[in-house]
Chains A and B, each alone.
Chain A
Amino acid sequence: MQKQAIFQSKLLPYALVAPQLAIVLIFFYWPALQAVIQSFLLQDAFGLSTTFVWFENYIELFKDPAYFASILRTFFFSFAIAVSSLSFALLLAVMADKPLRGSMLYRTLLIWPYAVAPPVVGVLWIFMLHPSLGVLARYLRAMGVDWNPLLDGDQAAALIILAAAWKQISYNFLFFLAGLQAIPKSVFEAAAIDGARPMRRFWTVTFPLLSPTIFFLLVVNIVYAFFDTFGIIDTMTRGGPGTSTVTLVYKVYSDGLLGGNLGSSAAQSVILMIMVIVLTGIQFRFVERKVTY
């Protein structure tokens, strides 16, 4: 698609794209290229000499059980966050889609957590579930749960998933509600006249018609769980106890912070880059399908 009415100018268009192009090249492409180059190099312990080692950094990485564990963990977190947040948000959206009094108020009261920053989400939840002073931890202990996410890795993971899913409810709710409102009401009426009860109507009519939205949100939630949980993890557990809440992004950050192996850290960045490319690719193929839907 191209515009027919255009301006003629030799230099002006370049001047207009120059600022964005400069930033993109200096702060996006150059560092990405550096990461790719670095990932093929090995530096000696004193940083005095570097040698080209082909894929050795990558091979070392995949031989490292800690890296493998963090891949599995990241996928598990993504899955758990996406499923719990999506199902709760869908329930709320289906309720809010009914012709209720005050539905605008409900929407307002449900969408604001979108604006809460991940590190603040982490602070809010660690405070409520802090083993020695959290108000919710009190009840857990009263119920006989030996609650201590600062020592128990599984509990720490559960805490991260809970907090991350909480933040994402509002986003999912908003898109589900928009998706539901786009379904013509006559479809439901037709199903109702055919004698389908509300539950059946949901699974045979609403759910299939909502599947493009569900798929889109699934991808968005996975991307969110991969990248935006960093702030939540960093304020709540710092990847601990041990390495039980270290995700891929957190590992790139903490490995590099310790100033350890530059090559390995770069190789991790490149692997993440590939994952983003795959996820974005999936997202865009889907968007095209949504247009023709």
Chain B
Amino acid sequence: MVEDEGIRRYVAHAILWIGIAIVAFPVYIAIVASTQDNALIANGQMSLLPGGHFFEVYYQTIFVGTSGSTREPVGNMMLNSLVMALLIAVGKIAISIISAYAIVYFRFPFRMPIFWIIFITLMLPVEVRIYPTYKIVADLHMLDSYAGLALPLIASATATLLFRQFFMTVPDELLEASRIDGAGPLRFFWDTLLPLSRTNMAALFVILFILGWNQYLWPLLITTRDDMQTIQVGIRKMITTTDALTEWPIVMATAVLAMLPPVFVVVVMQKLFVRGLVETEK
């Protein structure tokens, strides 16, 4: 541009690094705390440098859990979170892509009303239907089960809209060509449409996996057994006991473990993540 940008550029670098420091500081503190002795932390004497208890704390966290509040190994909580996140992500994609396929590639009575019925669920997040949904899940005997954790969250207006949008851009010639080859609707879906949707599915999967892993309110309500709780619910229970008894290094190690999978996904699959985020918000 017209002005000499030299100084401005240094200022920009400085502001960005300050921003990064602010964003990273809480996580740095969590990592440091997860390597220290609980007695020091409880006295308010925590050091700002890593301590020497890394292996011991993480071993206890993953395989044993806290000795007080929840005796559930965090490794098991992570497994529950993983199963739930995968069920939610895969489930949402699967049922949304087939309903979008039906809505775009077929003409049938009630086609548009069905589309609207799915669309309006955007306005019914779990927070506004907490207790009635809880009652239904209880009546169906799905409390403390993976089905109960995932099923009520699996419908997705956003994913359905996204696939519908994408299918509309697929050239009609493809369908005509596969029809000439003698392919029926299921063949066309499986051999042509699904491979074309791969990038969309991957981008959506990244977002939905993070969303699923980070679920909190719903698992909090419907899991009562310790061995069914997810890591997000587990960490809350760890700080339930009176302050003095909270085992902070284990709590912080759990926080780090809870962040690890979704943060890893964002950093490693950044392109897909950004694409998924921007597309689901359209």
Measuring CB to CB, which residues of chain A are less than 8 angstroms from any residue of chain B? 1, 3-10, 12-14, 16-17, 19-21, 23-32, 34-35, 38, 88, 91-92, 95-96, 98, 100, 106-121, 123-128, 130, 132-135, 138, 166, 169-171, 174-175, 178, 188-189, 192-193, 197-198, 216, 220, 227, 230-231, 234-235, 249, 252-253, 256, 262, 265-266, 269-270, 272-273, 276-277, 280, 287
Min CB–CB distance A241 → chain B (angstroms): 14
State whether B23 touches A28 (Cβ < 8 A). Answer: no
State whether B117 touches A24 (Cβ < 8 A). Answer: yes
Pull 23 A–B residue pairs with CB atoms less than 8 Å apart, ordered by A: A3-B167, A12-B186, A19-B95, A23-B154, A28-B124, A29-B117, A31-B129, A35-B129, A35-B132, A95-B19, A100-B9, A117-B262, A119-B233, A119-B236, A123-B30, A127-B252, A128-B25, A132-B243, A135-B48, A178-B278, A227-B125, A230-B216, A234-B236
State whether B263 touches A112 (Cβ < 8 A). Answer: yes
State whether A117 touches B258 (Cβ < 8 A). Answer: yes
Report B-chain residues with C-beta under 8 Å of the C-beta of A92: 15-16, 19
Report B-chain residues with C-beta under 8 Å of the C-beta of A220: 281
Report B-chain residues with C-beta under 8 Å of the C-beta of A133: 41-44, 46, 248
Q: A4-B172, A118-B216 are in contact. Are A256 and B98 (CB under 8 A)?
A: no
State whether B23 touches A198 (Cβ < 8 A). Answer: no
Tell me if B's interface is mostly helix, strand, loop or mixed.
helix
Min CB–CB distance A264 → chain B (angstroms): 12
**How far does the alpha carbon of A34 sit from the alpha carbon of B125 in the complex, in Å?**
15
Min CB–CB distance A103 → chain B (angstroms): 9
State which of B50-58, B62-70, B101-109, B194-202 sits at the interface with chain A: B101-109
Most chain B beta carbons < 10 A, residue from A112, A128, A178, A198: A112
State whether A3 touches B151 (Cβ < 8 A). Answer: no
**How far does the alpha carbon of A164 sit from the alpha carbon of B14 in the complex, in Å?**
24
**How far does the alpha carbon of A28 sit from the alpha carbon of B116 in the complex, in Å?**
13
Interface size of B in residues (CB-CB distance below 8 Å): 105
State whether A6 touches B136 (Cβ < 8 A). Answer: no
Q: A30-B136, A115-B266, A230-B216 are in contact. Are A20 and B155 (CB under 8 A)?
A: yes
Report A-chain residues with C-beta under 8 Å of the C-beta of B235: 119-120, 123, 235
Q: Which of A5, A8, A113 contacts B23 (CB 8 A)?
A: A113
Report A-chain residues with C-beta under 8 Å of the C-beta of B24: 109
For residue B255, CB closer than 8 A to chain A, the reply is yes
For residue B99, CB closer than 8 A to chain A, the reply is yes
Q: A17-B98, A27-B151, A133-B44 are in contact. Are A109 and B133 (CB under 8 A)?
A: no
Most chain B beta carbons < 10 A, residue from A6, A123, A166, A277: A123
Report B-chain residues with C-beta under 8 Å of the C-beta of A13: 102-103, 106, 108, 111
Min CB–CB distance A266 → chain B (angstroms): 8
Q: Which of chain B's residues has its CB closest to A94's CB?
A: B12
State whether B281 touches A27 (Cβ < 8 A). Answer: no
Min CB–CB distance A19 → chain B (angstroms): 5
Q: Which of chain B's residues has its CB closest to A270's CB?
A: B128
State whether A88 touches B19 (Cβ < 8 A). Answer: yes
Q: Which of B46, B125, B232 contacts A119 (CB 8 A)?
A: B232
State whether A127 touches B123 (Cβ < 8 A). Answer: no
Report B-chain residues with C-beta under 8 Å of the C-beta of A35: 128-129, 131-132
Min CB–CB distance A169 → chain B (angstroms): 6
State whether A20 touches B118 (Cβ < 8 A). Answer: yes
Q: Which of chain B's residues has its CB closest to A197's CB?
A: B3
**How far does the alpha carbon of A74 sit from the alpha carbon of B105 in the complex, in Å?**
44
**How far does the alpha carbon of A214 sit from the alpha carbon of B265 in the complex, in Å?**
27
State whether B239 touches A235 (Cβ < 8 A). Answer: yes
Q: A14-B108, A92-B16 are in contact. Are A34 and B135 (CB under 8 A)?
A: yes
Question: Mask for B207-250, Cβ within 8 A of A = 1, else 0?
Answer: 00010011011001000000000001101100100010000100
State whether A21 touches B236 (Cβ < 8 A). Answer: no
**How far does the alpha carbon of A37 sit from the alpha carbon of B210 in the complex, in Å?**
34
Q: Which of chain A's residues has its CB closest to B251's CB?
A: A123
**How far does the alpha carbon of A175 sit from the alpha carbon of B124 in the complex, in Å?**
25
Report B-chain residues with C-beta under 8 Å of the C-beta of A287: 282
Min CB–CB distance B17 → chain A (angstroms): 9
**How far does the alpha carbon of A98 sit from the alpha carbon of B1 in the complex, in Å?**
11
Report A-chain residues with C-beta under 8 Å of the C-beta of B252: 123, 127
State whether A23 touches B155 (Cβ < 8 A). Answer: yes
Min CB–CB distance B264 → chain A (angstroms): 8
Q: Which of A34, A116, A125 contacts B262 (CB 8 A)?
A: A116
Q: Which of chain A's residues has its CB closest to B11's CB?
A: A95
State whether A230 touches B217 (Cβ < 8 A). Answer: yes
Min CB–CB distance A248 → chain B (angstroms): 9
**How far does the alpha carbon of A98 sit from the alpha carbon of B16 in the complex, in Å?**
11
State whether A16 touches B15 (Cβ < 8 A). Answer: no
State whether B266 touches A114 (Cβ < 8 A). Answer: yes
Report A-chain residues with C-beta under 8 Å of the C-beta of B125: 227, 276
Question: Mask for B136-151, Cβ within 8 A of A = 1, else 0?
Answer: 1100000000000001
Q: Which of B26, B106, B131 contacts A124 (CB 8 A)?
A: B26
Q: Which of B99, B106, B117 contacts A7 (CB 8 A)?
A: B106
Report A-chain residues with C-beta under 8 Å of the C-beta of B71: none
State whether A31 touches B132 (Cβ < 8 A). Answer: yes
Q: Which of B12, B19, B124 contacts A98 (CB 8 A)?
A: B12
